[in-house]
């Protein structure tokens, strides 16, 4: 059952046509069907329409091209950068948690493998594993940390895994402004605004999440190796395409960026685990 009116139901503006000229809402109001609800979710929240495929094609196959398109003002044909990042960040952590991938965490001189089958002691490394080692001892915390040290191995592993999956997605998102700040410092004098660096950070990290998700899902070692090589080469190529400059200078900036960001990411993971330990009681 639908109804149409010359007045917009949303903003009460005179709207004699099919859409309101003020807010854009349709003037034909009806209770949506289950199919329409599903289409709205897919189209507007997951963005599985034509522009998603255009976005993915540039993001995956042409490093830096999507950022250049956005900076040039060609935006409506692509999915918004923040939505791209959030979608693939959530997807990656979901796959890591419920899929077959592993991540190794070194905490308090003890390696724990976080996977879909629960935390357990680390074994020999394999090609499908993503490893994140936190160098040295984690900082000494109040009595909660001492309590953590006294836990059994199984309890430690469970607490580490729970803390990682609960806080790491938020921590990684909070690192995006820092990633952009590193770029701002590395490209001082380029005339680039901070927002452009933040845009580049969202796109390149979204690519990293997609690639790592594929490496987790695909059980073919040769494909995983190829994806790993592409993941390694992607960022300096994207930096060169977006920021320009000499290739040697780009590689040097990339090396500095990776060193600074790896340290920041390690500290963020430590903070995630420490937060889990502190809030345990």
Q: What's the confidence (pLDDT) of residue 51?
A: 81
129 in a domain, yes or no? yes
- If pLDDT is split at 50, 70 and 90, which confidence band does 174 have? very high
41 in a domain, yes or no? no
pLDDT in tens, 116-155: 444 444 454 444 444 444 444 445 455 555 666 566 667 6
Give the contacts of 65 (CB within 8 A, at least 6 positions apart).
Answer: 58, 241
Token code pair at residue 82: 């923040």
Co-location of 129 and 262 in the same domain: yes
151 in a domain, yes or no? yes
73 in a domain, yes or no? no
Co-location of 101 and 173 in the same domain: yes
120 in a domain, yes or no? yes
- If pLDDT is split at 50, 70 and 90, which confidence band does 156 have? low
> In the chain, how many domains are there?
2
Co-location of 97 and 17 in the same domain: no
pLDDT in tens, 192-225: 999 999 999 999 999 999 999 998 888 889 999 9
91 in a domain, yes or no? yes
Q: What's the confidence (pLDDT) of residue 175?
A: 92
Co-location of 10 and 128 in the same domain: no
209 in a domain, yes or no? yes
- If pLDDT is split at 50, 70 and 90, which confidence band does 238 have? very high
- Per the structure, the complete domain to which residue 10 belongs is given by 2-31
Co-location of 10 and 105 in the same domain: no
The pTM of the full predicted model, rounded to 2 decimals, is 0.69
Three-state SS for 127-152 is CCEEEEECCCCCCCCCHHHHHHHHCC
Co-location of 100 and 197 in the same domain: yes
User: Looking at per-residue confidence, does 55 or 99 come out higher?
Assistant: 55
- If pLDDT is split at 50, 70 and 90, which confidence band does 256 have? very high
pLDDT in tens, 29-43: 665 667 666 666 655
Co-location of 20 and 86 in the same domain: no
Co-location of 91 and 223 in the same domain: yes
Rounded CA-CA distance 68/73 in Å is: 9
Co-location of 140 and 247 in the same domain: yes
Q: What's the confidence (pLDDT) of residue 226?
A: 95
Co-location of 248 and 118 in the same domain: yes
Rounded CA-CA distance 161/268 in Å is: 15
Co-location of 138 and 223 in the same domain: yes
Co-location of 190 and 115 in the same domain: yes
75 in a domain, yes or no? no
Rounded CA-CA distance 197/243 in Å is: 10
Q: What's the confidence (pLDDT) of residue 38?
A: 66
Token code pair at residue 57: 């094609």
- If pLDDT is split at 50, 70 and 90, which confidence band does 167 have? confident
């Amino acid at each position: 059952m639908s109804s149409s009116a010359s007045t917009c139901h949303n903003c009460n503006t005179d709207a004699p046509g099919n859409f309101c000229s003020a807010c854009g809402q349709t003037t034909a109001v009806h209770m949506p069907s289950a199919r329409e609800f599903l289409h709205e979710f897919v189209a507007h929240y997951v963005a599985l329409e034509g522009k998603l495929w255009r976005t993915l094609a540039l993001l995956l196959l042409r490093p830096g091209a999507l950022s250049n398109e956005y900076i040039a003002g060609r935006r409506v044909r692509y999915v918004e950068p923040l939505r791209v990042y959030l979608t693939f960040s959530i997807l990656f952590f979901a796959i890591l948690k419920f899929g077959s991938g592993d991540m190794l965490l070194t905490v308090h001189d003890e390696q724990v493998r976080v996977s879909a089958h629960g935390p357990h002691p680390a074994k020999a490394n394999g090609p499908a594993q993503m490893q994140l080692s936190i160098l040295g001892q984690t900082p000494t915390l109040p009595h909660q940390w001492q309590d953590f040290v006294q836990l059994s191995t199984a309890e430690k592993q469970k607490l580490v895994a729970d803390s990682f999956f609960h806080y790491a997605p938020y921590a990684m998102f909070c690192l995006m402004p820092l990633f952009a700040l590193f770029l701002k410092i590395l490209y001082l004098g380029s005339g680039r605004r901070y927002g452009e660096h933040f845009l580049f950070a969202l796109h390149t990290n979204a690519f990293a999440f997609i690639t790592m998700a594929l490496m987790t899902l695909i059980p073919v070692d040769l494909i995983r190796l190829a994806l790993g090589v592409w993941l390694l080469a992607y960022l300096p190529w994207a930096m060169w395409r977006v920021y320009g400059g000499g290739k040697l200078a780009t590689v040097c900036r990339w090396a500095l960026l990776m060193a600074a960001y790896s340290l920041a990411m390690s500290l963020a993971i430590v903070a995630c685990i420490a937060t889990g330990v502190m809030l345990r009681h």
